[in-house]
Amino acid sequence: MDILAKLPNPVSSELRFPFLDLQAEYATMKTDIWSAVDQVLDSQRFIMGPQVSQLETEISALVGCKFAVACASGSDALLLSLMALEIGDGDEVITTPFTFVATAGSISRLKARPVFVDIDPATYNLNAKQLESAITNRTKAIIPVHLFGLPAAMEPISQIAHVHGIPIIEDAAQSIGARYSDSQGQTRSVGNIGDFGCFSFFPSKNLGGSGDGGLITTNNPAYAERLAVLRDHGSRKKYEYDLLGMNSRLDSLQAAILLVKLKHLNTFTKARQRNAERYRKLFAQADLNRWVGLPHVPTGAEHVYNQYVIRAEERDQLRNHLRASGIPAEIYYPFPLHLQPAFEYLNHRAGAFPQAEVACRHVLALPIFPCMTEEQQKMVAVTDFFQQKG
């Protein structure tokens, strides 16, 4: 769901440029952001101000959903969606072991059991072919993750879920703006395919705020109403509490900043996609494709490249070589969730989900921020690391 570390470190004397240049993005909209912030400060309406409802309206229109409910983080978006389904002790929720901890962590926090399904090695997303065998009479939800900005195989996942009457919570934290076309030619945005769509506005996301923030989309009015109550301490009326909720309201300041950045989202998405295509050409020109696996985008999927993740058997050596050359590169993710100490109680062992484990050893994310220049990309793609192999 999110990057392993917090925000990448600012560019140092050792790196030629940062992994993610948020300062360059900010410079393109600085005046508008400060104007929006000033309006909130002048109003002194910091909690659930008009900017929050406006953001909900604009995101629901972008995604194509009837309802959007803003909250304090992408992690809370997952948690609130599970709470809206009244998932709890003894229930099972199916998801992937190759994702950020919040995906499975939200399940465990409600005392439900995360049930992992291995990934498709080509896409890194949940392998739909293995989904049905993981379903039991305790399965209460499925959480596919649209990892790195690439939609999961939502048509087969949705078909299986429908047969069993199981709701789908889309973890779309890394994929706002991505779209998926099914075999009938119907195209929908991620977050508008399952019963819930969960988005994160963490600063490193394609639509990132100046702190934490999240949002849930749905087409179900009962779910939308329940989510709105749950995020506000379970209250429909002041000092009256119908549900056991939580404090997960999006600040008006964050909403105001996100409304400004939302106007740039399409432009920045196209820039990420342009950079991805440029990487493909540069790697091909350098004859590196035989050593490096580039992102695979299945027919019908639109990738928005929150991360540009390559695959190399000598990943660690390659990363060290790049960094020694002043080139930033990150690992998403170095360990699968089923082998993390926090999930030791699930009693999984190495080899339980082999594709996820192999991916953790081989994946490497290259910088792909929207303001990245062609010269910077050439520094990344044209490397002599593989030259010695002949």
DSSP string, 156-222: HHHHHHHHHT--BEEE-TT-TT-EEE-TT--EEETTSSSSEEEEE--TTSTT--SS--EEEEES-HH
> Each residue of 240-279: b (16+ CB within 10 Å) or e?
eeebebbebbbbbbbbbbbbbbbebbeebbebbbebbebb
Q: How confident is the model at residue 38 (pLDDT cuts 50, 70, 90)?
A: very high
Side by side, the strands of the sheet bearing 113-116 are 113-116, 92-95, 139-142
Q: How many whole angstroms separate alpha carbon 232 and alpha carbon 338?
A: 32
Q: What count of other Cβ atoms lies within 10 Å of the Cβ of residue 168? A: 22
pLDDT in tens, 320-362: 999 999 999 999 999 999 999 999 999 999 999 999 999 999 9
pLDDT in tens, 184-238: 999 999 999 999 999 999 999 999 999 999 999 999 999 999 999 999 999 999 9
Strand partners, 70: 215
pLDDT at 78 over 80: yes
**Cβ atoms of 367 and 18 closer than 8 Å:** yes
Domains and CATH numbers, the chain: 22-26+265-389 (3.90.1150.10), 29-262 (3.40.640.10)
Query: In the 8-state DSSP scheme, what is residue 240?
Result: E
The pTM assigned to this predicted structure is 0.95
Q: Which pLDDT value is given to residue 101?
A: 98
